[in-house]
Amino acid sequence: MASNPMQQFSVYKIGPQIKIAGVDLSFTNASLFMVISASIILLFLFVGTKEKKIIPDKIQLIAEMFYSFVAKMISDTAGSKAKPYFPFIFSLFMFVLFCNMVGMLPYSFTVTSHIIVTLIMALFIFIAVTIIGFAKHGFKYLSIFVPNGVPAVLLPLITVIEIISYLSRPVSLSVRLFANMMAGHTMLKVFGGFVISLGLLGGWLPLSFSVALTGLEILVAFLQAYVFAILTCIYLNDALNLHH
């Protein structure tokens, strides 16, 4: 079991089987780590907002930094029209970030390393953005596929490319996060396996790789949460401020 680097991604149910209308909705280790990540976020925000201090303590300061970080990200990429979507982007960023970070703990499970999880988030964003676009601009929203200033000869080709790129957004968004998390954790596991198999004499080199990779993976965990959130902002910007 220990030698299989993909073993860490397997999902198994915890507790009784829950079946609703013939669909297995059992509570699994993936669900458990979603609960853990969400609980950490809520606990962190609870402690961070418990006391309203003019001069904040550390936790409050970090909570406020997250707030200003996401607020700045949204206003920079999507402008002031995106303000109503701030809570969603903030929740999304925090959820992805904390799932990634909790996954960095040994013996834990990385929720975001599952394509189904990232795909559902990406599809939700894609559908929501499309609905917002049509709600705000009606059929004019379709002009997103026709960039300005393109020669008439190239226009059909460009339009087809634009449509494909638009439709591939949920795929690229979900696969990016899923593949990054999976690859990183697989590599960590592989190098961990090397340490064991090479023993006391040869295990030091892969161990140092493991240490370096852990640092890199923490960076990737943050970066991918950031990328996920900022791409959502960019898609939202396309839907809110229709221009090219």
Partner 1 sequence: MRSYFSLVIATLVINTDLFAAEAGMPQLDPKYWASQAFWLILIFTILYISIAKFYLPKIKNNLDDRENKIKDDVDDANKFKELSESKFKEYEKILADAKKEVIKIQMDSKNILDKDIQSKKEAMEKEIENEISKAQKEINELKRNSLIDIQNISENITSSIIENISGDKLKESSIKAAVEDVSKKKIGEYL
- For the bound state, the minimum distance from the C-beta of residue 90 to partner 1, rounded and expressed in Å, comes to 6
Does position 86 interact with partner 1 (CB under 8 A)? The reply is yes
Strand partners, 20: 23
Does position 4 interact with partner 1 (CB under 8 A)? The reply is yes
Please state, as a whole number, how many other Cβ atoms lie within 10 Å of the Cβ of residue 164.
10
Does position 41 interact with partner 1 (CB under 8 A)? The reply is yes
Please state, as a whole number, how many other Cβ atoms lie within 10 Å of the Cβ of residue 48.
20
Strand partners, 23: 20
Does position 58 interact with partner 1 (CB under 8 A)? The reply is no
Does position 166 interact with partner 1 (CB under 8 A)? The reply is no
One-letter amino acid identity for 143?
Answer: S
Strand partners, 18: none
- For the bound state, the minimum distance from the C-beta of residue 111 to partner 1, rounded and expressed in Å, comes to 8
Does position 94 interact with partner 1 (CB under 8 A)? The reply is yes
Give the contact letters, 177-216, x = binds to partner 1 (CB under 8 A), - = no: -x---xx--xx--x--------------------------
Cα(121)–Cα(89) distance, integer angstroms = 11
Does position 30 interact with partner 1 (CB under 8 A)? The reply is yes
Please state, as a whole number, how many other Cβ atoms lie within 10 Å of the Cβ of residue 112.
29
- Is 233 within 8 Å of 74 (Cβ atoms)? yes
How far is residue 42 CA from its own chain's centroid? 18
> Site residues (CB under 8 A) for partner 1?
3-7, 9-11, 13, 18, 23-28, 30-31, 34-35, 38, 41-42, 45-46, 48-49, 52-54, 56, 60, 63-64, 67-68, 86-88, 90-91, 94-95, 111, 113-117, 120-121, 178, 182-183, 186-187, 190
